[in-house]
Structure 1
Amino acid sequence: MTKQDRAVRTRRALIRSAAEQFEARGYDRASLAEISAGAGVSSGALHFHFANKAAVADAVEQAAARALRRVALAGRGGDGSALQRLVDVTHRVARLLRADVVVRAGLRLNAEATTGRAPDLRGEWRACVHGLLDEAEREGELAAGVRPHRTGAVVLAATTGIEVLARDDQGWLARPSLTDLWHLLLPCVAAPHLAGVLDPAGREPERRAQEAGAARRQTAAAPLALR
């Protein structure tokens, strides 16, 4: 491993350790000593990469922003129904939050305006939601009388509320929470021709692969006489 590779690995370890500390203890109570210890490096190594705690927090927020933007861009640039892509992107963000402590901590730090330098992640999420709803309106996917701005406010309130509640109970980020939300919202906002077409549980590749695998196992387990 080259010196540059080691430096990249150390920086990533410090960002993850910092995210774990910020999530568990909050920005004020997290210490640089705990962050360096969690990354398995010395305090000197930490200060080689980051001048102070604010710089570490900023790096966590920036890493979270990159991950969230990748998910948002995938939804904005995908194919098919804009409403379905909105459903899909909410599920993908929830899955990312479940899996990645850096994203969870970065979003929380950003909401609390800890550093003041990172981008407005909630503002970017708002733009993603409103962009997909505007597209849905242009494509005739919204029911009569449904306005993107008002629908977007409901989606933003619900998804932000789920993220905040999940800080104490990650069960809120499980697929059923968002599926239930979309079961309620889609009949109210989607045009009649989309009834029964949109999937409130999302069309994530991981889920489709799991369902296909389950179907294959069920077929393989069936008695030969039934095949």
Structure 2
Amino acid sequence: MTKQERATRTRQALIRSAAVVFEQHGYAQARLVLISSGAGVSTGALHFHFENKAAVAEAVVAEASQGLRDMSAAIRRRTDTALQALVDTSHALVDRLRGDPVSRAGFRLSCDGERAAAPDLRMEWHHRVRELLDEAAAAGTLAHGIAREEAAAATVAVTAGFEVLGRHDAEWLSPYRLTGFWQLLLPRLATAATLPLLDPAGTGAAPSTGLTPSRRSPSKRRTGRRR
């Protein structure tokens, strides 16, 4: 292993350890010694990569942000319609919030509490939701008269609410909760011709992340995925 590869692995280990520590103790009470020990390195090694605790927090948020962008882009490439991509991306996001400490800590650090760190992940998610709704409207799969900004706000409010509630009760991040939301909303969002092709439980178009996959709804719809 080269020196650069070791440095990259150490940095990633520090980011993951920091996410766990921030989640367990909060930003104010997090200690650099806990972060370094969780990564299996010295505090000196931590300071080689990060100037201070604020820089570590920013790295956690940046990692979560990059993961959100990469995940969304990969799902869109694998999905036929923008509305199904929106459903699938929301399920993948909830999977990450349930199983990935970097995503959980990134959302918390960027949006609430003692130290909000840029970028704001909820605003990034809002932007992506709005992009997919605009794409659906351009493709003619969005029902007539839908106010896209209101639909985007509702989607972000629900997913952000699940994220906050899920901090104390993991049941809120269960796949069926989000499936129920889409079962309510999709009949309002989609055209009559598009609705039968959409699966509110997700199509499984998300790239493999090593996280627990979403369970299917027992009454799933036929999907419009490529064969």
TM tier, smaller: 0.7 to 0.9
Alpha-carbon shift at residue 156 of structure 1 (Å): 1.2
Assess if the C-alpha contact under 8 Å between 1:60 and 1:102 holds in 2: yes
- What residue in structure 2 maps to residue 14 of structure 1? 14
- What residue in structure 2 maps to residue 84 of structure 1? 84
- What residue in structure 2 maps to residue 199 of structure 1? 199
Assess if the C-alpha contact under 8 Å between 1:76 and 1:132 holds in 2: no
| Residue 175 (structure 1) aligned with residue 175 (structure 2) | yes
- What residue in structure 2 maps to residue 66 of structure 1? 66
Unaligned 5+ runs, structure 1 = 211-227
Alpha-carbon deviations, 1:10-59, whole Å to 9, x = none? 11111111100001111001001111111111111111111110011111
Higher mean C-alpha displacement, 113-122 vs 92-101? 113-122
CA separation in 1, counterparts of 2:106 and 2:55? 13
Alpha-carbon shift at residue 169 of structure 1 (Å): 2.0
Assess if the C-alpha contact under 8 Å between 1:76 and 1:131 holds in 2: no
Aligned-residue Cα RMSD (Å) equals 2.2
Percent of matched pairs sharing the same residue: 51
Mapping for residues 34-183 of structure 1, pairs under 5 Å: 34-112=34-112, 118-183=118-183
Q: Against the structure 1 CA distance between its residues 112 and 73, is the aligned structure 2 distance closer, same or farther, given a 3 Å change threshold?
A: same
- Highest relative contact order (Cα 8 Å, sep 6+), 1 or 2? 2
Alpha-carbon shift at residue 114 of structure 1 (Å): 6.0
TM-score of the aligned structures, taking structure 1 as reference length: 0.84
The total of aligned residue pairs comes to: 209
TM-score of the aligned structures, taking structure 2 as reference length: 0.84
Q: Read off the aligned partner of 1:139 and give its amino acid letter.
A: A
Greater C-alpha Rg: 1
CA separation in 2, counterparts of 1:135 and 1:161? 25
Alpha-carbon deviations, 1:92-140, whole Å to 9, x = none? 1111222211111011101127666632222211111011111111222
Q: Read off the aligned partner of 1:129 and give its amino acid letter.
A: V
CA separation in 2, counterparts of 1:40 and 1:76? 37
Assess if the C-alpha contact under 8 Å between 2:110 and 2:118 holds in 1: yes
CA separation in 2, counterparts of 1:175 and 1:117? 28
- What residue in structure 1 maps to residue 222 of structure 2? none
Q: Read off the aligned partner of 1:25 and give its amino acid letter.
A: H
CA separation in 2, counterparts of 1:21 and 1:92? 24
Q: Read off the aligned partner of 2:9 and give its amino acid letter.
A: R
Unaligned 5+ runs, structure 2 = 208-212, 214-227
Higher helix share: 1
Assess if the C-alpha contact under 8 Å between 2:133 and 2:152 holds in 1: yes
CA separation in 2, counterparts of 1:71 and 1:55? 24
